[in-house]
Amino acid sequence: MDTYITGNAVKTLREKKGYTQKQLADILSVSDKAISKWETERGLPDISLIEPLASALGVSLTELLSGEFAENRNRSSNMLRSCFYICPICGNVICSSGRGAFSCCGVSLPVLEAEPAGQDHRIGIEKIETENYITMDHPMNRDHYISFLAYLTADRMHILKLYPEQNAEGRFFISGHGMIYAYCNRHGLFMQKV
């Protein structure tokens, strides 16, 4: 039988929340027998109950429907573990303090993997009083440009969106050791320790 939700997912999430079948049933205003049927796959929740069920179980709709649950492995919220995602259609920049599942313009976005800045994407860092002045000798035209610069430390993220015809440069207040990231629309994400 093809289903849009598995009984194992409902049971696992219910037990993880510490609910009995009766407690979950009370939250959803259904009978505990309905919960039992869902968990043993002898029945399915009404489609109108899917969103309240996901909410009661503390997961997103996507997690409930896929049966794959995200676990926060970045509990300390160290900003140096941040991830970047770029929409290939509209160019939106999405930042998160850890890996996630993001989509934009109907497209699932893969996490960008950063490479050390090399000769073609050298990131210049100059300390000027209380700021790091970041420069790159990089084309800045409509077809090839640096989309953003970011400065990450353990507790902060600063991001500067750049556009074609600007200079590939930016200033960030110094807030400790960390990483500078630069995203080239053709070649990807590059990083440099600061």
Number of domains, the chain = 2
8-60 per-position pLDDT tens digit: 888 988 998 899 999 999 999 999 999 999 899 888 888 889 899 988 988 88
Q: What is the dihedral of CA 44, 16, 95, 134, to 10 degrees?
A: -160
pLDDT at 72 over 80: no
Q: What is the pLDDT of residue 69?
A: 66
The tokens describing 165, both together, are: 């015809």
Model confidence at 75, in pLDDT bands (50, 70, 90)? low
Domain end: 18, 35, 66, which one?
66
Q: Where are the alpha helices (DSSP H) in the chain?
A: 7-17, 21-28, 32-39, 50-57, 61-66
pLDDT over threshold 50, residue 1: no
Q: Which helix (H) or strand (E) holds 43?
A: none
Is residue 73 in a domain? no
% of the chain surpassing 90 pLDDT:
58
Is 74 part of a structural domain of the chain?
Answer: no
User: With a threshold of 0.85, does the pTM exceed it?
Assistant: no
Mean pLDDT of 149-178: 93
Range of the domain at 168: 79-193
Which whole number is the average pLDDT over 173-181?
A: 93
- So what's the pLDDT on residue 119? 86
The answer to the question of residue 1 being in a domain is no
Do residue 30 and residue 119 come from a single domain?
A: no
The residue type found at 42 is: R
Q: Is residue 32 part of a domain?
A: yes
Which CATH number belongs to the domain containing residue 129 in this structure?
Answer: 2.60.40.730
